[in-house]
């Protein structure tokens, strides 16, 4: 990728500060739940049921019942529970094994919605998704923890969130009580991926499943002096979106973004001529650049285009082919062993410390 735009010249101070979230979800403010994994650790998934998130989230104090709808401007029956990923929109997963009975656009206000049918006359609904994974189609079987899509604000929504419903024998019930009774309380805690998490069906050019990440090693360079920085919400969303499309783990993309420009904090053109948040050389961009934001043009300085192009590059250079494939793809990205280990070091930090890494901003205690 040409000479790396070094981040060693700038050491950014990292402070674990309170995270204050004010998100309007169907007219109700969401309040911070429990600490994210960087501040308290992730809870391992257990049993046949789990929350619909793999990261920390907030839970609206208003659940099922009648309320004034901020979009429809009338009293409306709110049939589920609103929740929102922290620090920004993230993956939505199946709360238990089931079969897809609906996946697509709903004209009544749900936007992009997925309905799953489970045993015992139980159905779950996941509404307002930004995108629905390609493998999620009517008739498809899904495992507990399998990704259904990405949280969004489609349909009659006023902000990014998941509208989650539980329907038993045709009647909508309180998701909070229902999930609590099944050992999967909706309490905002970060619950890690399920062991049976399915990865097939990701929209990758080679139709391959996402590879696990190898450990970092020696030598390292920039990561010896520059700790992983918190990921801005808009950049985190782009990393996650790129994972959903190309099957490259968002942590690996975050590792590249941290190594290259500290997630866009260090802007400008490198001495070798590399440009953009993921530092592409123009010649490489001509072959690998893609349109990441749907505006029908691939702009080397556009963050969405750059991040999606990095995922495209890593996929095409073999990052989904075994652990050694990840290292080879990173070496192709920038021909230096220390670069490979730096990126993997950062990727480990973001994976172990949650969506904003070990230097994450810690949320305030709940004010319910």
pLDDT of 20 over the 80 cut: no
Q: Which pLDDT band, with edges at 50, 70 and 90, does 27 fall under?
A: very low
- Is 292 within 8 Å of 285 (Cβ atoms)? no
Higher pLDDT, 99 or 64: 99
User: Mind listing the domains of the chain with CATH numbers?
Assistant: 23-181 (2.70.70.10), 222-363 (1.10.530.10)
- Poorest-confidence range of 4-8, 106-110, 163-167? 4-8
CB 108 within 8 A of CB 128: no
Binning pLDDT at 50, 70 and 90, where does residue 320 land?
confident
Kind plus residue range of the DSSP H or E element containing 124: strand 122-129
Residue 161 DSSP SS3? strand
pLDDT digits (tens, 9 = 90+) for 176-233: 999 998 889 998 887 877 754 433 333 333 333 334 688 999 999 999 999 888 888 7
pLDDT per position as a tens digit, 352-362: 654 443 333 33
Number of helices followed by number of strands (H, E) in the chain? 8, 17
Q: 9-13, 171-175, 281-285: which range is least confident on average?
A: 9-13
pLDDT of residue 42: 56
Is residue 160 pLDDT above 60, yes or no? yes
Alpha helices, H only, 182-273: 233-246, 250-261
Strand bridging mode 362-363 / 18-19: parallel
C-alpha gyration radius of the chain: 21
Nearest to 39 by CA among 102, 78, 86, 74: 86
pLDDT at position 129 over 70: yes
Q: What pLDDT does residue 47 have?
A: 66
User: What is the torsion angle, in degrees rounded to the nearest 10, for the CA atoms of residue 310, residue 316, residue 54 and residue 192?
Assistant: -120
Residue whose C-alpha is closest to residue 191's, from 114, 103, 80, 83 = 83
Under 8 Å between Cβ of 214 and 323: yes
The packing angle between helices 322-333 and 337-353, to 10°, is 120
Rounded to whole angstroms, the Cα distance separating 200 from 98 reads: 16
């Amino acid at each position: 990728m040409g000479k790396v735009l070094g981040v060693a010249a700038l050491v950014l101070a990292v402070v674990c500060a309170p995270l204050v979230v004010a998100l309007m979800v169907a007219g109700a403010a969401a309040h911070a739940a429990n600490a994210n994994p960087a501040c308290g650790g992730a809870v391992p998934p257990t049993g046949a049921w789990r929350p619909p998130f793999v990261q920390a989230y907030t839970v609206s104090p208003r659940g099922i019942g009648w309320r004034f709808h901020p979009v429809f401007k009338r009293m409306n029956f709110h049939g589920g529970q609103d929740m929102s990923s922290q620090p920004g929109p993230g993956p939505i997963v199946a709360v238990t094994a089931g079969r897809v009975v609906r996946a697509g656009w709903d004209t009544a206000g749900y936007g992009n919605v997925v309905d799953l049918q489970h045993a015992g006359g139980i159905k779950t609904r996941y509404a307002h998704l930004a995108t629905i994974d390609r493998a999620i189609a009517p008739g498809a079987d899904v495992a507990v923890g399998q990704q259904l899509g990405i949280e969004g604000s489609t349909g009659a929504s006023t902000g990014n969130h998941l509208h989650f419903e539980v329907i038993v024998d045709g009647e909508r019930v309180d998701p909070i009580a229902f999930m609590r009774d099944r050992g999967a309380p909706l309490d905002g805690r970060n619950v890690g991926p399920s062991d049976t998490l399915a990865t097939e069906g990701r929209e990758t050019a080679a139709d391959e499943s996402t590879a696990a990440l190898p450990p970092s090693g020696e030598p390292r360079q920039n990561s010896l002096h520059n700790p992983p920085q918190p990921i801005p919400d808009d950049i985190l969303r782009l990393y996650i979106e790129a994972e959903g499309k190309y099957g490259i783990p968002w942590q690996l993309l975050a590792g590249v973004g941290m190594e290259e420009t500290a997630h866009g904090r260090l802007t400008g053109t490198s001495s070798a001529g590399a440009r953009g948040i993921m530092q592409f050389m123009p010649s490489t961009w001509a072959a690998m650049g893609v349109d990441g934001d749907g505006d029908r043009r691939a702009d080397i300085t556009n963050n969405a285009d750059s991040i999606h192009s990095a995922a495209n590059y890593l996929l095409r250079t073999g990052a989904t082919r075994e652990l050694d494939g990840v290292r080879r793809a990173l070496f192709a990205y920038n021909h230096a062993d220390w670069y490979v280990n730096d990126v993997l070091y950062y990727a480990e930090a973001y994976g172990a410390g949650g969506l904003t890494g070990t230097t994450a901003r810690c949320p305030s205690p709940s004010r319910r």
